[in-house]
A and B are shown apart, each in its own frame.
Chain A
Amino acid sequence: MAELVAVIASTHHPFYYRASTAVGDDRPPFADEWVRKVEAFRETLTKARPDVLVMVGSDHFHQFWLDNMPQFLVGKAPFYDANFYNEEREFGLPKMLLTGQEDLSAYVLREGLDAGFDLAFSNELRIDHSITCPIITLRPQNDLPIVPIYTNIFAPPLPQPKRFVQLGRTIRQLIESWPEDKRVAVIGTGHLSLELGGPRQFGPTGPDPQFDRKAVEWISSGDIEGCLSEVTLDSLHLPGNATHGFMDFMLMMGVAGEGRKADYVDTYDLFHTMEAYFTWYPNGGRS
């Protein structure tokens, strides 16, 4: 059986790549500390020695459009090209090519459908920065096969928060029942409070530091019930108009498990939004 060796939840900040590679006058003052934090976070994945990465993210109106919008979608392909023209233009992200773990994609689709999730699929998926950012931060050598899973946090009507948690629990069950002798890590990215295209965007901090503090507490303590009791599709408008990306953190809490404290927690208060990094070791971190 496969073993779930690490569960990682992270923000995906598209400016990290540019900030971390800038030199001289172009290098922002917050870059060195950011790189230090990301490299420490990367070590939490490295030491789990994964063979396969299940990557949870969200397409930002790149391949998926309002004429055909999946709620939850699994990529099943041998390769995934990555990053789009507008991400290159705005964030300086490079074009990338990732390898797919196609047999695990097939397993997740078949077993996920049978477990009550009517998952959409794609056999030709170009992935965006919600998945490439954590590759850049956590596995820059890009040497592991992936299973991409996309959620709709972007184009209402959205699934309810509890559905994200349930999908996380199901993903964990599917990985742990996959009859292959592989070490699997799940990496999911989302946002804390975030505003894009509204009056609270690009402020000196994230739009709602109080929400961010609560969110970090929910995630790091594994308080799924507490989180679900306060977070609704309506309430997520209040901390910032792009805060529904927090539901991908809730999905990752579902993967990690109720009451399961994170083994590694770090945050970094940047302008515009707070960075947050969490790692759980389901087997206690033994190798």
Chain B
Amino acid sequence: MSKYLLNKFLYTVDRDPELVERYREDPRATVAMWETEYANRILNCVDGESSTWLRFDDTEREALAAHDYPALFELGAHPFLTLTLFIAMFERDHEPMGFQTEYARRLAHVSMPYPDIAT
């Protein structure tokens, strides 16, 4: 399990307006593309110095491909990264603050302590 890689997906997609739209429109294909092309890039290194070992497990890949943010929460993805990216993708489809309150409602079953987010 790699909370780090989940976070890396959320982080690198969130900061790229084009990737935000691709992930909104075609999440499954975007996750597959990202795992091939981005997952092993070290952000401050050139491509020839990429890592060789990073990949999602099936649960993680499916949570991302299904836009399943409650599952990402359960997996210990950083809640700030998930929230920020999902607001960017879906706030536009709701009344003001509507998406944020729905997001809270879909997590209402969660009890303390929350899943550990340490990476």
A binds B: yes
Chain A residues in the interface with B (C-beta under 8 A): 60-61, 65-68, 84-86, 89-90, 154-157, 196-203, 237-238, 241-242
Cα distance, A156 to B107, chains bound together (Å): 22
- Structural contact, B83 and A196, CB atoms closer than 8 A: yes
B1 at the interface (CB under 8 A from A): no
- Structural contact, B110 and A198, CB atoms closer than 8 A: yes
Given contacts A68-B44, A85-B17, contact A196 B79 (CB under 8 A): yes
Chain B residues in the interface with A (C-beta under 8 A): 4, 7-8, 11, 14-15, 17, 42-44, 73, 78-84, 87-88, 97, 100-101, 103-105, 107-110, 112-114, 117-119
Name the CB-closest residue of B to A271.
B97
- Structural contact, A199 and B108, CB atoms closer than 8 A: yes
- Structural contact, B107 and A198, CB atoms closer than 8 A: yes
- Structural contact, B15 and A237, CB atoms closer than 8 A: no
The A interface, classified by DSSP as helix, strand, loop or mixed, is loop
Name the CB-closest residue of A to B82.
A197
Contacts of A241 in B (CB 8 A): 79, 114
Partner of B104, one of A84, A155, A156, A201: A201
Partner of B80, one of A67, A68, A199, A242: A242
Contacts of A85 in B (CB 8 A): 15, 17
| Residue with the highest number of chain B CB atoms closer than 10 Å, among A84, A154, A156, A198 | A198
Partner of B43, one of A67, A156, A198, A242: A67
Contacts of B78 in A (CB 8 A): 61, 155, 197
- Structural contact, A202 and B100, CB atoms closer than 8 A: yes
- Structural contact, B79 and A198, CB atoms closer than 8 A: yes
- Structural contact, A84 and B15, CB atoms closer than 8 A: yes
- Structural contact, B100 and A86, CB atoms closer than 8 A: no
Within the complex, the shortest CB–CB distance from B104 to chain A, in Å, comes to: 5
Given contacts A61-B80, A201-B104, contact A155 B119 (CB under 8 A): yes
Cα distance, A242 to B82, chains bound together (Å): 13
- Structural contact, B113 and A237, CB atoms closer than 8 A: yes
Partner of A60, one of B80, B88, B117: B80
Within the complex, the shortest CB–CB distance from A83 to chain B, in Å, comes to: 13
| Residue with the highest number of chain B CB atoms closer than 10 Å, among A68, A84, A201, A242 | A201
